[in-house]
Amino acid sequence: QLVLTQSPSASASLGASVKLTCSLSSGHSAYAIAWHQQQPEKGPRFLMKVRSDGSHDKGDGIPDRFSGSSSGAERYLTISSLQPEDEADYYCQTWGADFPWVFGGGTKLTVL
């Protein structure tokens, strides 16, 4: 069973950068993931798909401040020039032929 692990919380200052991590469980380092943002009291919003080679495809209207990367079984979401509206929960998601769609536990990002 594939498991996605995320840190429960992260924080960074307004205008700074932050890198969020999503870790794929052992044996699943080749899987792509997707990042979703959920602002308070809103539905999730797709940000980007990140592949094992670090390439990423962003969703419609996602600012250039958001980027993705990979290293081994780790998938990253980097947000630069943090804005107040970036304060949100961030979820990673993966999928495969042999298991249902899986979400990480989410990271709550606080913009200081």
Partner 1 sequence: QVQLVESGGGVVQPGRSLRLSCAVSGFTFSSYDMHWVRQAPGKGLEWVAVVTYDGSKKSYADSVKGRFTISRDNYKNMLYLQLNSLRPEDTAMYYCAREYSGTHPRDFFDYWGQGTLVTVSS
Q: Which of 26, 40, 72, 97 binds partner 1 (CB under 8 A)?
A: 97
Stretch that binds partner 1, among 16-24, 64-72, 75-83, 87-95 (CB under 8 A): 87-95
> What part of residues 41-80 is at the interface with partner 1 (CB under 8 A)?
42-46, 49, 59
Q: Binding pattern to partner 1, positions 14-33, x when CB under 8 A?
A: ------------------xx
**Can you read off the two tokens belonging to residue 61?**
């209207």
For 9-25, b/e burial (b = at least 16 CB within 10 A) is ebebeeeeebebbbbbe
SS (H, E, C) 2-42: CCEEECCEEEECCCCCEEEEEEECCCCCCCCEEEEEECCCC
Could you tell me the smallest distance in angstroms from the CB atom of residue 49 to partner 1?
6
- Could you tell me the two tokens for 106? 């989410």
Residue ranges that bind partner 1, judged by CB under 8 A:
32-34, 36, 42-46, 49, 59, 91, 93, 95-97, 100-106
